[in-house]
Amino acid sequence: MSGKKQEGNKRKRPRVNPSRVIQAPSASTKAKHFFSVSFQFITHDFDCHRFSAKKLESLLERLHSLSMMEWDQIYTADKHGFGSEYIKESQLNFNVPTSLDEDHSGRPISLRCGVGNMAMVGKRVGDVFQLLCVECEYGDAYDHGGS
């Protein structure tokens, strides 16, 4: 063999289309925190068993709409729309389950459940809304007059 390199075995590097390159997220990119819901801690006295089919459908539609939103959007929306408001525990007409209260000290949050002005109340744990109750009648869950 002579000292020549075999040119035919050399692989060419493939050309990269810049529009198809996947960029790693930069450190400044803010992570999105979407709403999700858990029924693990719902109180049996204030759940949706007394809802009509129409009210239950409205509740499910509202939960679906909320799940498409980020928590920041919910916090900044009007409280009578898709927004929220913090509720003092002293306003609640039910007790927060001890296991949730001990592990997660966040304040109760009220969200409109899509049925008139009736509310659902829970606590945010990470990105999960731990649903505690759904009002069957306006004022069932908490004193709406207090702040």
Beta-carbon contacts of residue 100 (< 8 Å; ≥ 6 apart)? 41, 123, 125, 130, 132
- Listed in sequence order, the DSSP H helices in 24-68 are 53-67
pLDDT at 135: 87
Q: How many whole angstroms separate alpha carbon 82 and alpha carbon 63?
A: 10
- Strand partners of residue 134: 120
- Strand partners of residue 131: 122
SS3 133: strand
Q: What is the pLDDT along the chain (147 residues), one digit of tens a residue?
A: 555 555 556 656 555 555 554 444 444 445 688 899 998 888 877 666 778 888 888 888 999 999 999 999 998 888 878 888 999 988 999 888 877 766 555 789 999 887 777 889 999 988 899 999 988 888 888 988 754
Question: Are the C-beta atoms of residues 82 and 72 closer than 8 Å to each other?
Answer: no
The model's pTM: 0.71
Q: How many whole angstroms separate alpha carbon 144 and alpha carbon 147?
A: 8
pLDDT at 18: 52
Q: How many whole angstroms separate alpha carbon 115 and alpha carbon 59?
A: 7
SS3 112: strand
Of the CA atoms within 13 Å of residue 117, those in its CB half-sphere come to 10
> What six digits make up the tokens of 11?
């692989």
pLDDT at 38: 92
